[in-house]
């Protein structure tokens, strides 16, 4: 019988990133994407003569929710 207790393989356990760091990155990304989302929202509204379904804040929030976890998973 093989004894795995003395020569157990070392597995790397990844701890969760600190919340403060996550929120700091989230805020920076949100503020960085806000002007571009506002510009695209205005251009889409002017092109179609109607307001888009999502506002610029919702689009910037969505972009920050997509980009921030990718930074921490890299």
How far apart, in Å, are the Cα atoms of 74 and each of 23, 32, 35, 40, 70? 17, 20, 26, 28, 6
Q: Is residue 34 part of a domain?
A: yes
Mean pLDDT, contiguous 10-residue spans, the chain (74 residues): 62 70 95 96 93 93 94 82
Q: Which range marks the domain in which residue 34 is found?
A: 19-73
CB half-sphere exposure, 7, CA atoms < 13 A:
2
pLDDT in the model for residue 48: 92
> What is the number of structural domains in the chain?
1
Q: Is residue 27 part of a domain?
A: yes
pLDDT in the model for residue 18: 75
pTM of the model: 0.70
Q: Is residue 52 part of a domain?
A: yes
């Amino acid at each position: 019988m093989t004894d795995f207790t003395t020569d157990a393989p070392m597995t790397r356990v990844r701890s969760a990133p600190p919340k403060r760091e996550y929120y700091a990155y989230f805020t920076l990304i949100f503020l960085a994407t806000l002007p571009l989302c506002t510009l695209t929202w205005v251009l889409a509204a002017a092109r179609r003569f109607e307001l888009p379904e999502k506002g610029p804040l919702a689009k910037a929030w969505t972009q920050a929710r997509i980009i921030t976890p990718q930074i921490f998973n890299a």
